[in-house]
A and B are shown apart, each in its own frame.
Chain A
């Protein structure tokens, strides 16, 4: 399409004068947000959409670093290590024009701690939130909590008056299949306001004229049209044909094609997510194998052999097309407690693996079923398939059962799988989060995603101690001790750290955020 030069010049002149051009960002990814209630789900795509409309006290910028949002600064209270003081930004208004103040923070945190909230586990240490004055808030915790700010980066602030007036004070009860005013309407302080939304079809947002951060962020985008496109080929086609400007999940095999297309750019960055296999080592005998009366996975030598059989470099080269970083521990490098030596510790050695199998009494191998998701991680099914071939080299015959995540995850939760794939992201950037879910004995409070049946009371005690340890050095030492046990026991078979691939047109300029949650206000448009 050729516009007449004169006309173009006139248009350019006009936009230059007003200083802001009307830029629409057409944005697609595989899935949609689940609800607009910012406290009802703790899930990536849901938070990503909420980040455009609502704001927390603190955000992470696209490099993962803290940045002041609705709080301007924060620090532990002098003389009382159990209290954090947050100074709030002044002159911030909600989309409906009302002012943001400390009352809203107290209200929002209380709301996010309530029964239906999906965010409450991140706030367990908070016993009280109090407004000191209109723009100062104190968070009281049950003990010193040095990492509290890290738990607040997805905790969005809502207007007390608006929420109460619309009978939405209680968090939407997803469990009860409830719809509330707040789950279909929004009133945030964020850079964009909602124009229209059809779940799974299309969401349109427009720039908030009264946004406080107008001078702090590029804010080049004035309108966002967000369309989920499930089928990968269709999504890539939409980018290639210029129907969308930005997709968050370019399949690894299409990176070359997208990158080589004139006018398109691929940006890549390590993601805060590690992919690994879990094994049921806790049971006396397991159902999904061909060994009677024994559990081969209970033998650490078998687990080590299986880890040694996996050729992570081949997976990286062929399945992931270089878009992964082989892992030796189940913590992404972003996480406190990650350690270079441990992460480099996994090696491929089929001969040694065979020897270990023979030592353990399984020279002839055994057969087992591997449960794998096929719509959750990058090339999840292909990784599992590759593992089937590699494990066959040491005599382990694997029956692969790949299925949608909705059917895969319950298997882990309900102890119905003996060998499974799982990926873990760490939003708090701290090892405690991993230990709580994946290492601690499965119980009421912790260990809900520990499908290995592993149980070690000493280790459990150490994990619990992390939440109240104030001496960061001592805490880190404990973290390291726990990791040592996890590594020695080969509790999991780490595969790799995932890499994010964002595809966009040349006019879109942004860095990739490690949480895969683009905040469009950071986007610049050429």
Chain B
């Protein structure tokens, strides 16, 4: 729709010095006095770093099929494999992949999908919400009806549908990477409505305030008004929604893997690992499920707790 103002939006959002001052004062004070927030933040930081640095940390490259030895399959954590004698910290999965390395690489995919999907949702939601709220009229009706259509399709359905189409139209050599982009698109598309609704709501309130009216009177362009005056007011709720959405997106990716539309098993995400691992729950190979599941739990829980704290911290009325 409108590409130029979007990129401007994101740039300006970090610039205002008022926000920085806020960051340094109240916000940080609140952070320093919330042990849960500190711990959560530390966990997220460690996990994100581990994922980013996976190629340096991981002892094996689980995405390189030539390096795998099937006979290493099902090696328990810390024990030596009966056939090959190799041993692995967290054991190996059904294909002989080192579980520790696979989790690191899988987390990379999960986090990438999560961040990219939330970014997409935010971009779409904030833009459309601003437009709907500020311009009103038909623009608003169309955007909010599209939002209704969107709500009609749960993320699961959207992903299954997009997957079907994408398989039909992507050339075979790109199909391997396709899954990840489809996930991003599907999760991003089903998540933008929340952003749009909040932004539209705030915009409706702000646009009738005197300072906006004044800006309009002196002939400021609508885009300038939206970016400079209205956008800063919606940043707090948007940040909260984005955080919660990130956790949701990571879980949604896992759910989609269960339904067979997630990341491929040759390049698994955390969700794919859990889907594979649950098949071995009754048979005693607990580590194939347990370690990826605990990692996912730690990641999503920390992000959720952080979002929780953020919601309270950014809402001055609740303090």
Contact = CB atoms under 8 A, between A and B. Distances in A.
Contacts of B175: 369, 399, 401
Interface in A281-307: 287-288, 290
Interface stretch (B63-71, B110-118, B223-231): B63-71
B67 to A, nearest CB: 8
Nearest to A400: B266
Given A233-B279, A369-B175, A382 B95 contact: yes
Contacts of B253: none
A257 B265 contact: no
A194 B95 CA distance: 45
Interface of A: 232-233, 236-237, 240, 251, 253-254, 256-257, 287-288, 290, 311, 314-315, 317-319, 367, 369, 374, 381-382, 385-386, 388-393, 397-404, 407
B282 A254 contact: yes
Given A254-B283, A389-B66, A399-B175, 16 more contacts: A253-B285, A314-B71, A317-B83, A318-B71, A319-B73, A319-B94, A389-B65, A391-B65, A392-B68, A397-B65, A398-B65, A399-B173, A400-B265, A401-B264, A402-B265, A403-B167
Given A318-B71, A392-B65, A233 B265 contact: no
Given A232-B279, A382-B95, A403-B260, A393 B66 contact: yes
Contacts of A290: 173
A233 B172 CA distance: 33
B280 interface: yes
A233 B66 contact: no
Contacts of B71: 314, 317-318
A66 B64 CA distance: 51
B68 A389 contact: yes
B278 interface: yes
A381 to B, nearest CB: 6
A151 to B, nearest CB: 37
Given A287-B172, A388-B266, A233 B281 contact: yes
A124 to B, nearest CB: 36
Interface string B139-166: 0000000000000000000000000000
B16 interface: no
Given A390-B70, A392-B65, A385 B95 contact: yes
B287 interface: no
A389 B95 CA distance: 9
A289 to B, nearest CB: 9
A510 B284 CA distance: 28
A388 B95 CA distance: 10
The B interface is mostly helix, strand or loop, or mixed, namely loop
A388 B65 contact: yes
Chain A interface helix/strand/loop/mixed? helix
Contacts of B195: none
Contacts of B237: none
B74 interface: yes
B176 interface: yes
10 contacts: A240-B282, A254-B282, A257-B283, A318-B71, A385-B95, A389-B66, A389-B69, A397-B65, A400-B266, A401-B175
A256 B70 contact: no
A386 B260 contact: no
Given A385-B265, A392-B66, A374 B260 contact: yes
B91 to A, nearest CB: 14
Contacts of B232: none
Nearest to B95: A385
B70 A314 contact: yes
A487 B101 CA distance: 41
Contacts of B201: none
Contacts of A236: 282
Contacts of A367: 173
A389 B285 CA distance: 22
B185 to A, nearest CB: 19
A251 to B, nearest CB: 7
Contact of B278 (A233, A369, A407): A233
A390 B67 CA distance: 9
A318 B74 contact: yes
Contacts of A404: 260
Among A256, A288, A382, A402: residue with most chain B CB under 10 A: A382
A367 B265 CA distance: 18
B70 A311 contact: yes
Nearest to A257: B282
A251 B279 contact: yes
A251 B276 CA distance: 13
Interface in B260-319: 260, 264-266, 278-285
A393 B94 CA distance: 19
Contact of B176 (A287, A391, A399): A399
A395 B149 CA distance: 48
A22 B279 CA distance: 36
A382 B264 CA distance: 12
Contacts of B70: 311, 314-315, 318-319, 386, 389-390
Given A287-B172, A385-B266, A388-B266, A318 B283 contact: no
Contacts of B64: 392
Contacts of A388: 65, 266
A381 B280 CA distance: 15
Contact of B264 (A390, A397, A402): A402
Given A251-B279, A392-B65, A393-B66, A318 B96 contact: yes
Contacts of A400: 264-266
Interface string B158-193: 000000000100001101100000000000000000
Contacts of B167: 403, 407
Interface string B63-97: 01110111101100000000100000000001110
A391 B96 CA distance: 15
A403 B284 CA distance: 27
Contacts of B69: 389
Contacts of B74: 318
